[in-house]
């Protein structure tokens, strides 16, 4: 059985929400490709201000780790 909607359940946005400049699907392709969001603790974020610096540090760490692995 279908329920009737009351007036307080209407799909009306609050006046402070303004989407007049919005673009539908703006980030769809990037999201579809996948994302990998990582949250840094504040002390780490003070040192690594952007993704480039984080990536450089992690690549260096990977390189060092590979050098430490014994090859038989």
pTM for this model (two decimals): 0.49
Tell the residue number behind the tokens 């703006």, with chain if given.
26
Q: Say if 9 falls within a structural domain.
A: no
- Measure the CA–CA gap between 38 and 19, rounded to whole angstroms: 28
Domain count, the chain: 1
Question: How would residue 18 be classed by pLDDT, with cut points 50, 70 and 90?
Answer: confident
Q: Is the pLDDT of residue 6 over 70?
A: no
Q: Is the pLDDT of residue 5 over 80?
A: no
Q: Say if 66 falls within a structural domain.
A: yes
Cα distance from N-terminal residue to C-terminal residue, the chain? 71
**CA-to-CA dists, residue 28 to 6, 13, 24, 33, angstroms:** 34, 23, 9, 9
Range of the domain at 67: 40-72
Eight-class DSSP state of 50: S
Question: How would residue 9 be classed by pLDDT, with cut points 50, 70 and 90?
Answer: low
- Measure the CA–CA gap between 27 and 25, rounded to whole angstroms: 6
22-59 confidence digits (pLDDT tens): 999 998 888 888 878 889 999 999 999 998 999 999 99
Q: Say if 65 falls within a structural domain.
A: yes
């Amino acid at each position: 059985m279908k329920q009737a909607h009351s007036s307080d359940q209407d799909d009306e946005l609050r006046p402070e929400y303004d989407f007049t400049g919005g673009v539908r699907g703006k980030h769809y392709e990037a999201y579809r490709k996948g994302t990998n969001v990582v949250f840094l603790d504040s002390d780490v974020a003070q040192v690594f201000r952007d993704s480039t610096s984080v990536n450089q540090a992690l690549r260096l760490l990977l390189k060092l780790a590979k050098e430490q692995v014994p090859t038989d």
